[in-house]
Amino acid sequence: MSIEQKTFGTMPDGTKIHLYTLKNTNGACIQAMEYGARVVSIQVPDRKGTFGNVVLGHDTLEEYLADGDFLGAAVGRYANRIGGGTAEIDGTPYSFSQNENGNTLHGGFQGFHQKVWRLKCSNNDDEAPSITFAYRSIDGEEGFPGNLDVSICYTLTTDNALVIDYKAKTDASTLVNLTNHSFFNLTGDPARDILSHELQIYADHFTAAGQDLVPTGEFAPVAGTPADFRTAKTIGQDIRAADPFLRKCNGYDHNFVLAGEPGRKKAAEVYDQSTGRVMLVFTDMPGMQLYTANGFSEGVVANGGIPLQAHHALCLETQFFPDAPHHENFPSAVLRPGEVYQHTTTYKFEVRK
């Protein structure tokens, strides 16, 4: 196993951005970089032993710098949406950057996905190489209170799993909801869609949302809806159903209420029959957003210059529920001084013969 470092590109201000490659003894490798603490590629085998990159990425740093690009990114301070861009934290009202139709999305205009993270440490362990990125979000950034110190550790295990450990501390009560926004395509070919991927999600409910995609506070049963993935089905089976929310979003953009007791649990399983690749998702977070890459800006391309198209990837973003500050029945996303925000998500890759 090993960790390799190289320069990936240079920021407009001259800051060099480094790309780190983690390899294990099976030949699997994961690449991540300092800009946005992004996962750039995940190389894992198919049933024939052929390796392929199962996440969408770009060939150059300049492409990642485009506004609205979230490929592989760390998302924060608050992943997903805060309705109205305002919230009370311990009785004090705050107003955040309103960057989507009057709401706050993925941390505001300049979220964590657009920040240069520093390499805090690396561990070239024979069993599980890892790298840890760190970022300080200053008090008032995008309207959020408190100086927030964040670290994200990426570990590649011997059984081809990417383990993501998140930690954060604050010096004032604030909101924290971190996730990873990798776009997965288990075929390894961004020119192919993911509608034939079979998906199972361990959730009986999702957080119902209005046309602005902000939750209403209701836990809606998945039973009898296109969002029922309790039994594995292809993503394409119901994606074009006569459902107002699906049609509004041009696909799935649902936050699922994960079943089971608090703590680490299996959240989802994805299977691509054409390659035999399987991805298992485990997390200790209460929710997971399914997003089926419902649209990309015109002219945006993936590695090799392949145009990015709707439904050619899916995201499984583990997180607190969107708009949690406005719903007392949602798990709290408030972090206070002296507390540690800490959670772990695992994306494990296997092969089905």
Joined tokens for residue 12:
């407009």
Catalytic (active site) residue 311: no
Separation of CA 119 from chain center: 20
The answer to whether residue 317 is catalytic is yes
Instruction: Answer for the pair 99, 107: CB distance below 8 angstroms, yes or no.
Output: no
Of 113, 311, 317, 343, the active-site residue reads 317
Looking at 58, 106, 181, 254, which residue is catalytic?
A: 181
Number of Cβ within a 10 Å radius of residue 147:
15
Q: Which residues are known catalytic residues?
A: 181, 317
